[in-house]
Chain A
Amino acid sequence: MLEEIFVVNRLVLFGITVAIAVIMLIAIRRAKKGKKYFIRRIAGLEAIDEAVGRATEMGRPVHFSPGIASLSEETAAQTLAGLAVLGYVARLTAKYDTDLIVTNRMAEVLPITEEVVRQSYLSEGKPENYNPDNIIFLSDEQFAYAAGCMGIMSREKVAANIMMGAFWAESLIFAEGGFVAGSIQVAGTANTHQLPFFLAACDYCLIGEELFAAGAYLSQDPMQVASIRVQDIGKVAAVLLIIVGTIASTCNWPVIIDFLAKFAS
């Protein structure tokens, strides 16, 4: 009967999704009522202020890339997190009258980056400083976009290169391009296979989930911070499950693993 209604081997995943959604709603509700959740310092994000400050002092532009992922794939969350950081960067550049160049690979991300930057300039009371020509669509071909970014960084002599989102093989090309241009570089991605390059070539780096926490940290929006709290609850649950499951497995009691293999594959 159950098998007719549900895909049984995904029941646990369904249960976890619903549970996380319910806990998230409760946390957001509490945040709306005034409950304040704590979020620890994330060093890489504080470097953004330093990077934009440096660009302002040097009178040179800031370059921002929201990654190369589209909005309709699994890595879309990284692009959305990158756009949250873009809002903060644009507010800083608006505040300090510094030029901001945003390059896009995905056509559908372009209108969102335009809107994010425009809103940031509006919120800082400087809509006249918003320059739509600086929000650029380069190419949807991965390495054409990378070549274009390198060229722009070098020609415009960007003083700060901020890359937040999903990156693949072009990550090191970007980081090297920024280095050649002499810019301070802050990068963040959850694509673990590209993190080594950012760590090696950039001044500051957001590792994995730090990118997702970035929006909450920068805005200090109680609702976003509440969502980080719920993610932490998920991590505690994961740690407990690993400990219990490992002990069970070591004692040759495979009931937990068998259950998860059957209902969480």
Chain B
Amino acid sequence: METVGIWIGALCTLAIFSFLLRENPFFRTAEHLFIGLAAGLGIFYGYQTIVSNAWTPLFNPDPGEARKWFLIVPLVLGVLLYTRFLKKGKWISRIPLGFLVGVGSALAIRGVIGASFMSQIVATMELPLWHTMAKFKIDAILFILGVIGTLIYFFFSREQKGPLKVGASIGKWVMMLAFGAAFGNTVMARMSLLVGRIYFLLGEWLHIL
């Protein structure tokens, strides 16, 4: 059985790699297989999630545990999503969707103000420009200039002219340097993934390595 799995994995890997030449029937087969399998798995895990997270605690709780009645709210909201298939009751599906959008927006606000806004400000101001007057730390100055320049780049309610243009240029350069470093870093990580796949093909499948 394991051998069959290795063969399927290897053939699908080659079929996906074949896209590098051009779109072809092998790639298409692997693509559709992938999407179909993901859909099947999605239905299974969706069912399992409903049963374990909502149905069981609500209707069949473990002995000694109280029924969690509040779970009826997400359960009903979930069922209401399916009303989009009704011609006359389609509008009802907007209620759970509105709930989802509201929760998403609230989470986003909390995340932005806490993690992105305040933490970034505190982390930046924690850097003294120099520890002592004798030991000048240019990296701290570059870092603070970079943060302020990047913030200026994202001012939208003023035209980028004069001092704003200078600040925005600094911000742009800082961002490009950061993106370059991130790009190189990720390319290396992707190379290690490629090596892993090649090792699978040549080792586990063909037994050459």
Residues of A within 8 A of B (CB): 10, 12-13, 16-17, 20, 37-40, 42, 70-77, 79-80, 108, 111-112, 138-141, 143-145, 147-148, 150-151, 154-155, 172, 180, 192-193, 195-197, 199-200, 207-210, 213, 217, 228-229, 231-232, 234-235, 238-239, 241-246, 248-250, 252, 256-257, 260-261, 264
Contacts and interface: CB of A to CB of B under 8 A. Distances in A.
Nearest to B155: A232
A22 B30 CA distance: 53
B101 A151 contact: no
B183 to A, nearest CB: 4
B126 to A, nearest CB: 6
A39 B118 contact: no
Contact of B151 (A39, A199, A239, A260): A239
Given A40-B155, A239-B152, 18 more contacts: A10-B114, A13-B113, A40-B159, A42-B156, A144-B37, A148-B35, A151-B31, A193-B186, A195-B179, A200-B183, A209-B154, A232-B155, A242-B125, A242-B144, A242-B147, A245-B122, A246-B144, A260-B122
Contacts of B35: 138-139, 141, 144-145, 147-148
A76 B113 contact: no
B154 A141 contact: no
B23 interface: yes
Nearest to B45: A140
B182 to A, nearest CB: 5
Nearest to A213: B156
B104 A196 contact: no
Interface in B98-126: 100-101, 103-105, 107-114, 117-118, 120-122, 124-126
Given A16-B117, A242-B125, A257-B122, A72 B107 contact: yes
Contact of A112 (B22, B97, B105, B183): B97
B147 to A, nearest CB: 6
B34 A143 contact: yes
A229 B157 contact: yes
Given A76-B104, A235-B154, A248 B125 contact: yes
Contacts of A39: 156-157
- Which of A20, A213, A239, A244 gathers most chain B CB within 10 Å? A239
A261 B122 CA distance: 8
B22 to A, nearest CB: 8
Contact of A232 (B39, B126, B156): B156
What 9 pairs across the A-B complex have the smallest Cβ distances? A76-B104, A245-B125, A141-B38, A196-B183, A144-B38, A154-B23, A74-B111, A77-B108, A196-B179
B11 interface: no
Contacts of B179: 195-196, 199
Nearest to B183: A196
A127 to B, nearest CB: 16
Given A141-B41, A242-B144, A147 B108 contact: no
B182 A196 contact: yes
Contact of B107 (A12, A74, A144, A234): A74
A207 B175 contact: yes
